[in-house]
Amino acid sequence: MEKRCTIADVARAAGVSKQTVSRVLNNKGELSAATRERILAVIKELGFQPNAAARSLLTGRTSTVGLVVPDVNNPFFVDIAKGVHDAAREKGYHVLLYDTCDSPDLEAQSIRLLSERRADGLIICSSRLSDGRLASLLKGVGPVVLVNRWVKGLDVTQIGADYVKGAALATNHLIESGHRKIAAVTLTVETPNSRAKLEGYSKAMEEAGLGVHADLIAYAQSSLQGGVNAGNDLLGRAQRPTAIVAYSDPVGIGAMHACRHWGVSVPENMAVIGFGGNEIAGVVNPPLSTVFIPNFEMGHRAVELLLERVADRSIPAVVEETEAHLIIRASTMIGAEPLDDHRLQHTLLSVPSPSNGRRLPQARQ
């Protein structure tokens, strides 16, 4: 077996101490340009590869970021994870990904494991843990960024969107389109984000004078099958809605599938709007209107904010809010041409948020 080149071999060939080689590898300490160049040339000539474990002991860092997500099958979290991986590669970091399967207990276990494995920092997406339990778990843990989760009084960086505003935008769009019987699909297990979206829906319905009614609320998992189940539930009720505000894009797509099964045309007989803005929403038929959240950018930004605190623990935690906006497509547009197999394209229209106290358009039947 070929002997692995060591830092001692580099030092001997360059005529310097191991400490001097270490300073070059970690870009620390004062060295002449000539010495630095000579050592780098020897490293290249010998094909020296620093041992990750040894470097970790030396620097106190592992060049790894822990990423915790509730469901790796959900396009919403896939987009965030892509942003995290992209930014991490740019910074020379590796990502340890943990899927918690929407389980608070598995999430708690993942946080403990990543801490034990000495990840330089953690990015936790849409945490399913209670505020108190999350705060307790993060005591003594290195830098942390929460994505799409707001916890007051917690000294960690937080980045996310205003889900209350986003859900209100979606509901208002349907109200402006003439709908009165607007259903909301929320999660079977309540989370901070499901509460926020339901609050936004309820706020828009109340401000329009339509009220919030239990027979217009359906519960589902945030998945395609969850959307199918919720759609079947709503379509089987005595008083069918004419529009659906889905918890997520997969739920919205599943609800449209249920409509096809029931022979209900979208959007002529049922308008459907999703939440998230994953690219798949634009290529289903009909293309799904959605509340767009810049998930890739949030994941990318989360890494930047995390590594700032990894480099300097004195940097204060910050709270950043991204902007949610509507992408209106054929699933809520009467008269829009459906896509054929040769013309899959996004329909993007800018829709202003209606003002309070507005006169409602004529109701859809």
Q: Where are the domains of the chain?
A: 7-59, 64-162+295-322, 164-293+325-332
Q: How many CB atoms lie within 10 A of CB 263?
A: 8
Q: Are domains 64-162+295-322 and 164-293+325-332 of this chain identical in fold?
A: yes
Tell me how far apart the alpha carbons of residues 338 and 285 are, in angstroms, rounded to a whole number. Answer: 7
Q: Read off the DSSP letter of residue 150.
A: -
pLDDT of residue 30: 76
pTM of the model: 0.75
Residue 1 has pLDDT above 60, yes or no: no
The per-residue pLDDT for range 57-104, each reduced to its tens digit, is 444 556 899 999 999 988 889 999 999 999 999 998 999 999 999 899
Class of domain 64-162+295-322: alpha beta
Q: Which residue is listed with tokens 């096809």?
A: 260
Tell me how far apart the alpha carbons of residues 250 and 235 are, in angstroms, rounded to a whole number. Answer: 18
Is residue 97 classed as helix, strand or coil in its secondary structure? Answer: strand
Tell me how far apart the alpha carbons of residues 254 and 259 are, in angstroms, rounded to a whole number. Answer: 9
pLDDT of residue 6: 82
Domain 164-293+325-332: CATH architecture, name and number where available: 3-Layer(aba) Sandwich (3.40)
Residue 18 has pLDDT above 90, yes or no: no
Residue 355 has pLDDT above 80, yes or no: no
Residue 52: pLDDT band with limits 50, 70, 90: low
pLDDT of residue 117: 78
Q: The CATH number of 7-59 is which of 1.10.1740.110, 1.10.260.40, 1.10.1840.10, 3.90.930.12?
A: 1.10.260.40
Lowest mean pLDDT among 5-9, 228-232, 333-337, 356-360: 356-360
Residue 364 has pLDDT above 60, yes or no: no
Residue 218 has pLDDT above 90, yes or no: yes
Question: 68 pairs with which residues across the strands?
Answer: 98, 124
Tell me how far apart the alpha carbons of residues 354 and 196 are, in angstroms, rounded to a whole number. Answer: 20
Residue 112 has pLDDT above 70, yes or no: yes
Query: Are the C-beta atoms of 191 and 102 separated by less than 8 Å?
Result: no
Of 51 and 194, the structure prediction assigns the larger pLDDT to 194
Residue 336: pLDDT band with limits 50, 70, 90: low
Residue 22: pLDDT band with limits 50, 70, 90: confident
Query: What average pLDDT does this structure show over 140-146?
Result: 89
Residue 51: pLDDT band with limits 50, 70, 90: low
